[in-house]
Amino acid sequence: MLMQDVVAVVTGGASGLGAATARGFLAAGAQVTIFDRDQAGAEFAAAIGAGFAAVDVTDAASVAAGFEAVSGLNAVVNCAGIATTEKTLGRDGPHDQASFERTVAINLSGTFNVGRLAAARMQDGGVIINTASVAAFDGQKGQAAYAASKAGIAGLSLPMARDLARNGIRVMAIAPGIFRTPMLEGLGEEVMAGLAKDVIFPARLGDPAEFAALAQFIVECEYLNGTTIRLDGALRMP
Protein backbone atom coordinates (compact mmCIF):
# COMPACT_ATOMS: atom_id res chain seq x y z
CA MET A 1 0.00 0.00 0.00
CA LEU A 2 1.40 3.38 -1.00
CA MET A 3 1.18 6.07 1.66
CA GLN A 4 -0.38 8.53 -0.77
CA ASP A 5 -3.29 6.08 -1.09
CA VAL A 6 -3.75 5.77 2.67
CA VAL A 7 -6.79 7.17 4.46
CA ALA A 8 -5.97 6.68 8.13
CA VAL A 9 -7.49 7.16 11.54
CA VAL A 10 -5.12 7.53 14.50
CA THR A 11 -6.74 7.16 17.91
CA GLY A 12 -5.13 9.03 20.77
CA GLY A 13 -3.52 11.08 18.04
CA ALA A 14 -3.25 14.34 19.97
CA SER A 15 -0.09 13.46 21.88
CA GLY A 16 2.79 11.04 22.27
CA LEU A 17 3.02 8.09 19.91
CA GLY A 18 -0.28 8.93 18.25
CA ALA A 19 0.76 12.50 17.48
CA ALA A 20 4.06 11.33 16.00
CA THR A 21 2.19 8.79 13.87
CA ALA A 22 -0.27 11.38 12.60
CA ARG A 23 2.60 13.73 11.69
CA GLY A 24 4.58 10.97 10.01
CA PHE A 25 1.67 9.70 7.94
CA LEU A 26 0.78 13.21 6.79
CA ALA A 27 4.39 13.89 5.81
CA ALA A 28 4.37 10.69 3.74
CA GLY A 29 1.28 11.80 1.83
CA ALA A 30 -1.54 10.04 3.69
CA GLN A 31 -4.86 11.53 4.71
CA VAL A 32 -5.23 11.42 8.50
CA THR A 33 -8.08 11.88 10.93
CA ILE A 34 -7.35 12.02 14.64
CA PHE A 35 -9.76 10.48 17.15
CA ASP A 36 -9.27 11.92 20.62
CA ARG A 37 -11.35 12.98 23.62
CA ASP A 38 -9.37 16.11 24.44
CA GLN A 39 -10.32 19.43 22.86
CA ALA A 40 -6.60 20.07 22.52
CA GLY A 41 -6.72 17.29 19.95
CA ALA A 42 -8.82 19.45 17.64
CA GLU A 43 -6.29 22.25 17.90
CA PHE A 44 -3.38 19.90 17.24
CA ALA A 45 -5.16 18.34 14.25
CA ALA A 46 -5.85 21.76 12.76
CA ALA A 47 -2.23 22.78 13.27
CA ILE A 48 -0.83 19.80 11.34
CA GLY A 49 -3.53 19.58 8.68
CA ALA A 50 -5.35 16.48 9.93
CA GLY A 51 -9.05 15.89 10.38
CA PHE A 52 -10.47 15.49 13.87
CA ALA A 53 -13.37 13.77 15.61
CA ALA A 54 -14.13 13.84 19.31
CA VAL A 55 -14.30 10.13 20.13
CA ASP A 56 -14.46 7.96 23.24
CA VAL A 57 -12.97 4.64 22.14
CA THR A 58 -14.97 2.74 24.77
CA ASP A 59 -18.29 3.99 23.37
CA ALA A 60 -19.52 2.22 20.23
CA ALA A 61 -21.83 5.06 19.17
CA SER A 62 -19.04 7.60 19.59
CA VAL A 63 -16.61 5.55 17.49
CA ALA A 64 -19.22 4.89 14.81
CA ALA A 65 -20.01 8.61 14.60
CA GLY A 66 -16.30 9.37 14.22
CA PHE A 67 -15.98 6.96 11.32
CA GLU A 68 -18.94 8.58 9.57
CA ALA A 69 -16.67 11.55 8.88
CA VAL A 70 -14.02 9.38 7.18
CA SER A 71 -14.46 8.32 3.58
CA GLY A 72 -12.31 5.59 2.02
CA LEU A 73 -10.82 4.33 5.29
CA ASN A 74 -8.05 1.76 4.82
CA ALA A 75 -5.75 2.18 7.84
CA VAL A 76 -6.18 2.54 11.60
CA VAL A 77 -3.49 3.01 14.22
CA ASN A 78 -4.80 2.50 17.74
CA CYS A 79 -2.75 4.61 20.14
CA ALA A 80 -5.45 5.65 22.63
CA GLY A 81 -4.72 4.31 26.10
CA ILE A 82 -3.88 5.05 29.70
CA ALA A 83 -1.07 3.98 32.01
CA THR A 84 -1.96 3.04 35.59
CA THR A 85 0.17 1.95 38.52
CA GLU A 86 -1.30 0.09 41.47
CA LYS A 87 -0.17 -3.05 43.29
CA THR A 88 -2.42 -6.07 43.59
CA LEU A 89 -2.21 -5.65 47.35
CA GLY A 90 -0.92 -2.31 48.54
CA ARG A 91 -0.64 -0.45 51.83
CA ASP A 92 -4.24 0.69 51.53
CA GLY A 93 -5.62 -2.72 50.64
CA PRO A 94 -6.39 -4.66 47.45
CA HIS A 95 -6.14 -3.17 43.98
CA ASP A 96 -9.19 -1.06 43.20
CA GLN A 97 -11.39 -3.15 40.94
CA ALA A 98 -12.90 -0.16 39.17
CA SER A 99 -9.40 1.08 38.30
CA PHE A 100 -8.49 -2.31 36.85
CA GLU A 101 -11.65 -2.47 34.78
CA ARG A 102 -11.23 1.10 33.50
CA THR A 103 -7.68 0.33 32.34
CA VAL A 104 -8.81 -2.79 30.50
CA ALA A 105 -11.86 -0.98 29.10
CA ILE A 106 -9.83 1.82 27.54
CA ASN A 107 -6.68 -0.03 26.51
CA LEU A 108 -8.05 -3.40 25.43
CA SER A 109 -11.79 -3.12 24.87
CA GLY A 110 -11.38 0.33 23.33
CA THR A 111 -8.78 -0.99 20.90
CA PHE A 112 -11.02 -3.87 19.86
CA ASN A 113 -14.05 -1.60 19.62
CA VAL A 114 -12.26 0.68 17.16
CA GLY A 115 -10.82 -2.28 15.25
CA ARG A 116 -14.11 -4.11 14.76
CA LEU A 117 -15.95 -0.98 13.63
CA ALA A 118 -13.08 0.05 11.37
CA ALA A 119 -13.08 -3.37 9.71
CA ALA A 120 -16.76 -2.95 8.83
CA ARG A 121 -15.89 0.25 6.95
CA MET A 122 -12.83 -0.99 5.05
CA GLN A 123 -14.58 -1.84 1.81
CA ASP A 124 -11.39 -2.48 -0.15
CA GLY A 125 -9.22 -3.99 2.55
CA GLY A 126 -6.70 -2.27 4.76
CA VAL A 127 -4.60 -2.58 7.89
CA ILE A 128 -5.22 -2.19 11.61
CA ILE A 129 -2.22 -1.49 13.87
CA ASN A 130 -2.70 -1.85 17.62
CA THR A 131 -0.38 -0.57 20.34
CA ALA A 132 0.68 -3.15 22.91
CA SER A 133 3.72 -2.67 25.18
CA VAL A 134 6.75 -4.55 26.42
CA ALA A 135 4.74 -4.67 29.65
CA ALA A 136 2.67 -7.34 27.91
CA PHE A 137 5.68 -9.64 28.36
CA ASP A 138 7.71 -8.03 31.16
CA GLY A 139 5.11 -6.45 33.42
CA GLN A 140 6.55 -4.70 36.47
CA LYS A 141 5.29 -4.30 40.02
CA GLY A 142 2.17 -2.18 40.03
CA GLN A 143 1.37 -3.00 36.40
CA ALA A 144 -1.17 -5.78 36.84
CA ALA A 145 -3.94 -3.83 35.08
CA TYR A 146 -1.74 -2.18 32.47
CA ALA A 147 0.21 -5.34 31.60
CA ALA A 148 -2.97 -7.40 31.39
CA SER A 149 -4.55 -4.90 29.01
CA LYS A 150 -1.46 -4.78 26.80
CA ALA A 151 -1.05 -8.57 26.81
CA GLY A 152 -4.63 -8.73 25.58
CA ILE A 153 -3.76 -6.44 22.70
CA ALA A 154 -0.81 -8.66 21.73
CA GLY A 155 -3.17 -11.62 21.84
CA LEU A 156 -5.62 -9.94 19.47
CA SER A 157 -3.28 -9.81 16.50
CA LEU A 158 -3.41 -13.35 15.15
CA PRO A 159 -7.10 -14.20 15.67
CA MET A 160 -8.20 -10.83 14.30
CA ALA A 161 -5.91 -11.28 11.31
CA ARG A 162 -7.42 -14.70 10.68
CA ASP A 163 -10.96 -13.37 11.09
CA LEU A 164 -10.38 -10.51 8.66
CA ALA A 165 -8.27 -12.28 6.03
CA ARG A 166 -11.28 -12.81 3.76
CA ASN A 167 -11.90 -9.06 3.91
CA GLY A 168 -8.34 -8.25 2.84
CA ILE A 169 -7.56 -6.63 6.18
CA ARG A 170 -4.27 -7.15 8.00
CA VAL A 171 -3.88 -6.77 11.77
CA MET A 172 -0.60 -6.02 13.49
CA ALA A 173 0.57 -4.84 16.89
CA ILE A 174 3.58 -2.83 18.01
CA ALA A 175 4.95 -3.35 21.52
CA PRO A 176 6.98 -0.23 22.29
CA GLY A 177 9.50 -0.08 25.08
CA ILE A 178 10.30 3.11 26.96
CA PHE A 179 9.61 6.11 24.75
CA ARG A 180 10.14 9.81 25.35
CA THR A 181 6.52 10.90 25.46
CA PRO A 182 4.96 13.81 27.38
CA MET A 183 3.76 11.36 30.03
CA LEU A 184 7.28 10.06 30.63
CA GLU A 185 8.87 13.50 30.41
CA GLY A 186 6.72 14.52 33.35
CA LEU A 187 8.86 12.23 35.51
CA GLY A 188 11.95 14.37 34.95
CA GLU A 189 15.31 13.86 33.26
CA GLU A 190 16.85 11.95 36.19
CA VAL A 191 14.12 9.32 36.18
CA MET A 192 14.21 9.02 32.41
CA ALA A 193 17.98 8.53 32.47
CA GLY A 194 17.52 5.74 35.01
CA LEU A 195 15.00 4.01 32.77
CA ALA A 196 17.17 4.40 29.68
CA LYS A 197 20.14 2.60 31.25
CA ASP A 198 18.35 -0.76 30.96
CA VAL A 199 17.99 -0.43 27.18
CA ILE A 200 20.60 -2.64 25.48
CA PHE A 201 21.23 -0.71 22.25
CA PRO A 202 20.82 2.05 21.43
CA ALA A 203 21.04 2.93 25.12
CA ARG A 204 18.43 5.66 25.15
CA LEU A 205 14.69 6.24 25.24
CA GLY A 206 12.74 5.62 22.07
CA ASP A 207 11.80 8.53 19.84
CA PRO A 208 8.06 8.63 18.98
CA ALA A 209 9.11 9.25 15.36
CA GLU A 210 10.57 5.72 15.39
CA PHE A 211 7.20 4.31 16.37
CA ALA A 212 5.64 6.28 13.52
CA ALA A 213 8.25 4.95 11.10
CA LEU A 214 7.47 1.36 12.06
CA ALA A 215 3.74 1.98 11.71
CA GLN A 216 4.37 3.36 8.22
CA PHE A 217 6.51 0.35 7.32
CA ILE A 218 3.74 -1.99 8.46
CA VAL A 219 1.26 -0.15 6.25
CA GLU A 220 3.58 -0.37 3.26
CA CYS A 221 4.77 -3.98 3.76
CA GLU A 222 1.75 -6.08 2.87
CA TYR A 223 3.29 -9.39 4.00
CA LEU A 224 3.35 -8.30 7.63
CA ASN A 225 0.28 -9.72 9.34
CA GLY A 226 -0.93 -11.27 12.56
CA THR A 227 2.02 -10.62 14.85
CA THR A 228 3.43 -8.24 17.45
CA ILE A 229 6.72 -6.43 16.86
CA ARG A 230 8.77 -5.33 19.88
CA LEU A 231 10.22 -1.86 19.38
CA ASP A 232 12.44 -1.56 22.43
CA GLY A 233 16.18 -1.55 21.72
CA ALA A 234 16.36 -5.15 23.04
CA LEU A 235 15.07 -4.00 26.44
CA ARG A 236 14.07 -6.78 28.79
CA MET A 237 12.72 -5.31 31.98
CA PRO A 238 14.25 -6.86 35.13
Q: How confident is the prediction along the chain (238 residues), in pLDDT tens digits per residue?
A: 999 999 999 999 999 999 999 999 999 999 999 999 988 899 999 999 999 999 999 999 999 999 999 999 999 999 999 988 899 999 999 999 999 999 999 999 999 999 999 999 999 999 999 999 999 999 888 999 999 999 999 999 999 999 999 999 999 999 999 998 877 776 678 777 777 888 999 999 999 999 999 999 999 999 999 999 999 999 997 7
Report the half-sphere exposure of 172 (CA within 13 A, side-chain side).
24
Which pLDDT score is estimated for 186?
A: 67
Whether 146 is a known active-site residue: answer yes
Q: Give residue 227's pLDDT.
A: 98
User: 157: how many CB neighbours lie within 10 A of its CB?
Assistant: 22
User: Which residues, in sequence order, are bridge partners of residue 230?
Assistant: 175
Q: What is the pTM of this model?
A: 0.95
> Of the residues 100, 146, 179, 211, which is catalytic?
146
pLDDT at residue 185, rounded to an integer: 75
Question: Which of 104-125 are b and which e, b meaning 16 or more Cβ less than 10 Å from the residue's Cβ?
Answer: bebbbebbbbbbebbbebbeee
Backbone angles phi, psi at 116, to 5 degrees: -70, -40
Amino acid identity for residue 46 in this structure: A
Contact call for residues 125 and 169 (beta carbons, < 8 A): yes
